[in-house]
Structure 1
Amino acid sequence: MASIRKMPNGRWQAQFRPVPGGKQITKTTRRKIDAQKWLDEQTAALTTGQFVDPKAGRVTFAEYFGQWSARQVWVPGTERAMRLAASSVTFGDVPLSRLLRSHVEQWVKHMETELRGYGREKGLAPGTIRTRFNNVRAVLRAAVRDRVIPADPSEGVRLPRARKGSSLNLPTSEEVRKVLDCSEEHFRVFIALCAFAGLRLGEAAALQAGDIDLEARILRVTRQVQRANGKQVEIRAPKYGSERTVYLADVLVEMLRDYLEKHRPGENRDRWLFEGEQGLPPHQNTVGYWWRKARTAASCESIRLHDLRHFYASGLIAAGCDVVTVQRALGHSSATITLNTYAHLWPSAADRTRSAASGLIGDVLGKLPSASEDGEDDDPPAAQLVPA
């Protein structure tokens, strides 16, 4: 039921009940035409299923996130990332009904120019900003679905753009060789698994002897190590879509065979390939210490352990592997992730055109001897080029 009435002070009050027997919603205006317009808008929204109770949006972003996050089923890594993103916003105390696109834009600008840390002189990297923005946007979209707000205020917000390949640090073959040579023997195979099988740190740390089939020359990724409280480690399933079978090169198979015989002998298939404290896999901090020690000895301070995974991917691409092959080898959940990270490493249309044209020239003309191969000068006098 909807109606408009004139109040004793001369103002006009529109009122209606969204649900029969429910709470009445009112709005007071100076002009009757404005009251009628508001009432028509609310009635139309109710008819089309787009109605949002104006009072529902009084909850602040921080309050809504607390209520919404308590209902979510997240793995610990996702929960940490969501809480980090939600706590970084500059509009946590703003009621959702008053949250504007400008609030979100101001937050993005704040991340780009003001946040510093880990040795950064400027703000967060574009990729980090995008990740936090997407996590916060998930909260706002949930608020839309819950009919707390009518629309997502983050829609259309522009984010800083990263240059292609700017975040990709590709070690050279010589650098990888130096790090391998300078690493301690027990850690050399760990490095090789990252560089020649594309394993993430947590995946390599969580390997068991039974995950490796030396005869079939394969390795199965079925778990990962994640940081827990303090020095504890947590074993759980890999990232979504990262369970995979990795096909091992013959040299890596022999490295693994020698390593198992010397450092991890036994028949128990559940024994950890690499061991940390209390018989558990090594903590990420422990692996980080081993890695920093190796790269310092090799004078390769700029290389991160994760860069060895990029090194592996670049090798597959250089060998002519297609997107799906690289995606499966790396354990990406979709080919889009692979392309977003490594698209610039694949030959472009221009590269393929030049290569095809070179092949045609070779087929038609063969290898033409140069003037120097005939015993002539590279730049003969002009008189020699003119027929007699």
Structure 2
Amino acid sequence: MASIKQRSDGVWRARYRDADGREHARHFKLKRDAQRWLDETAAAVLTGQYADPRAGRVKWSVWAVEWMDRQSWASGTREAAETAVLRVPWADQPVGGVKPSHVQGWVTAELKRGLAASTVRTRLNYVQMAFRAAAADKVIPSSPAANVKPPRARKAEAAMRVLTAEQVAAVLAAAGDFRPFIEVCVFAGLRLGEAAGLQLEDVNFLGRTIYVRRQVQGATHKTAELVPPKYGSERAIYVPADLMATLSRHVAAEGVTAPDEQIFVTPLGRLWHRNNAGDEWRRIRAAVGLPSDVTLHTLRHTYASNLIASGCDVVTVQRAMGHAQPSITLNTYSHLWPSAEDKTRAATASFIAAVAGETKTPSAWEGVGQRS
């Protein structure tokens, strides 16, 4: 139900009632403006874009916390989301008052203060998720972050670090007691948390297979806990006998016997996590003289690079890396696969070599058609 009436002071009052029976009204100097507002509201209702204006008055910080509480995230994901959505300039403003220019300005400001483009993209993704949820719940008509473009990675960021065989050998030589942990990262492609979460029952020594069934989440002794792996990351990794021999010696030396016992623990018997494993890696990196942007995760990239260089296809690499979709593998490592140009050159080079070999050896056709 909607109506327009002119008040005694000449102002036009437009009003309507929503589906819940609540009345909404606005005042305009011109009747045509009042009619336009009612028409736009009616159109929004018909197209499913209508949102109660009062719903958008909730503070962004309040809405964001309520939204995060509804998610079934691991603690690490929740921590990353909080960092993204609660550290925005509009945290104390109404959700309905945020404009696309506010979101784009925030992205630009984050880059100017020195954050990596990849970090800003990740944070923008969480903000966009929250705005989409607000629009789906009719808190706002549409997301102001929908068309905000994520920053492009700088060339230095886009360049993926991959260690050479010589560098891997140097890392292993400097690793000391941490060497078996390093080996499952570089020779099985495990993430830091996945390596830290390995238990004896996860290793089939006769079958030369490692099963990823859990991971360690958290960055401190107090927050570190065993949780299921990332979605789609449960997997079986088929590894060579040399890695199995390393793990077998380590298990025997550490006295690991119970199926649910951790294979890797600190000297004090605690779980490895982001902080203490990171400290060990920084010690090794300094001893070898590697750049500061070479992280433990670089070992995982090195593993993937070797699979690709050895001719493994996308699906094989996807399963080994524990990616939920082949598209994730391609987005991450597509630059490592030979391009069409590379394949064309290699194929033609082989053909040239074959032709050259034939020209040096008399063939069965030699002399055919020649006069005696």
The answer, yes or no, to whether TM exceeds 0.5 is yes
How much has 1:278 moved relative to structure 2? 5.9
How much has 1:198 moved relative to structure 2? 0.4
Report Cα offsets for 1:144-174 as digits up to 9, x if no partner.
1111111111122122111567252111111
The answer as to whether partners of 1:207 and 1:223 remain within 8 angstroms in 2 is yes
Report Cα offsets for 1:262-303 as digits up to 9, x if no partner.
x23354222221122664432332222222222222223543
Confirm whether residue 172 of structure 1 aligns to residue 164 of structure 2: yes
Confirm whether residue 6 of structure 1 aligns to residue 6 of structure 2: yes
User: Match for residue 71 of structure 1?
Assistant: 70
Secondary structure of the corresponding residue to residue 86 of structure 2: helix
User: Match for residue 27 of structure 2?
Assistant: 28
How much has 1:327 moved relative to structure 2? 1.0
Confirm whether residue 323 of structure 1 aligns to residue 323 of structure 2: no
User: Match for residue 235 of structure 2?
Assistant: 244
Residue type at the aligned position of 1:98: G
The answer as to whether partners of 1:232 and 1:283 remain within 8 angstroms in 2 is no
The answer as to whether partners of 1:224 and 1:237 remain within 8 angstroms in 2 is yes
The answer as to whether partners of 1:57 and 1:96 remain within 8 angstroms in 2 is yes
Q: Distance in 2 between matches of 1:271 and 1:220?
A: 15
Q: What is the correspondence of 1:158-237 to structure 2 with a 5 Å cutoff?
A: 158-163=149-154, 166-184=158-176, 186-227=177-218, 230-237=221-228
Report Cα offsets for 1:123-160 as digits up to 9, x if no partner.
21111111100100111111111111111111221221
The answer as to whether partners of 2:256 and 2:262 remain within 8 angstroms in 1 is no
Report Cα offsets for 1:46-66 as digits up to 9, x if no partner.
233332222221223222213
- Corresponding residue to 2:285 among 286, 292, 295: 295
How much has 1:194 moved relative to structure 2? 0.7
Q: Distance in 2 between matches of 1:66 and 1:333?
A: 27
The answer as to whether partners of 2:2 and 2:17 remain within 8 angstroms in 1 is yes
How much has 1:238 moved relative to structure 2? 0.9
* Shift in CA distance, 79/240, structure 1 to aligned 2, threshold 3 Å: same
Residue type at the aligned position of 2:15: Q
The answer as to whether partners of 1:276 and 1:283 remain within 8 angstroms in 2 is no
Secondary structure of the corresponding residue to residue 181 of structure 1: helix
How much has 1:86 moved relative to structure 2? 0.9
The answer as to whether partners of 1:228 and 1:234 remain within 8 angstroms in 2 is no
Q: Distance in 2 between matches of 1:228 and 1:296?
A: 21
Residue type at the aligned position of 1:42: T
Q: Distance in 2 between matches of 1:238 and 1:210?
A: 16
What TM-score, normalized by structure 1, do the two folds share? Answer: 0.87
Q: Distance in 1 between matches of 2:54 and 2:28?
A: 18
Q: Unaligned regions of 5+ residues in structure 2, if any?
A: 361-372
Q: What is the correspondence of 1:109-120 to structure 2 with a 5 Å cutoff?
A: 109-114=108-113
Runs of 4+ aligned structure 1 residues displaced above 4 Å come to: 228-232
The answer as to whether partners of 1:3 and 1:14 remain within 8 angstroms in 2 is yes
Across the two proteins, how many residue pairs are aligned to each other? Answer: 358
Q: Unaligned regions of 5+ residues in structure 1, if any?
A: 115-122, 370-388
Residue type at the aligned position of 1:286: N
Q: Distance in 1 between matches of 2:154 and 2:274?
A: 30
Q: Distance in 1 between matches of 2:319 and 2:149?
A: 32
Higher mean C-alpha deviation, range 68-77 or range 153-162: 68-77
The answer as to whether partners of 2:12 and 2:34 remain within 8 angstroms in 1 is yes
Secondary structure of the corresponding residue to residue 366 of structure 1: helix
Report the RMSD for the aligned CA atoms in angstroms.
2.0
User: Match for residue 264 of structure 2?
Assistant: 274
What TM-score, normalized by structure 2, do the two folds share? Answer: 0.90
Secondary structure of the corresponding residue to residue 225 of structure 1: strand
Secondary structure of the corresponding residue to residue 28 of structure 1: strand
Q: Distance in 1 between matches of 2:358 and 2:281?
A: 48
Q: What is the identity percentage for the equivalent residue pairs of Structure 1 and Structure 2? A: 45
User: Match for residue 366 of structure 2?
Assistant: none
The answer as to whether partners of 1:18 and 1:46 remain within 8 angstroms in 2 is no
User: Match for residue 95 of structure 1?
Assistant: 94
The answer as to whether partners of 1:179 and 1:295 remain within 8 angstroms in 2 is yes
Q: Distance in 1 between matches of 2:64 and 2:260?
A: 41
Q: Distance in 2 between matches of 1:163 and 1:354?
A: 29
* Shift in CA distance, 125/228, structure 1 to aligned 2, threshold 3 Å: closer
Confirm whether residue 334 of structure 1 aligns to residue 333 of structure 2: no
* Shift in CA distance, 182/279, structure 1 to aligned 2, threshold 3 Å: closer
Q: Distance in 2 between matches of 1:85 and 1:349?
A: 39
Report Cα offsets for 1:323-349 as digits up to 9, x if no partner.
111111011111122111111111001
Residue type at the aligned position of 1:188: R
Residue type at the aligned position of 1:346: W
User: Match for residue 56 of structure 1?
Assistant: 55
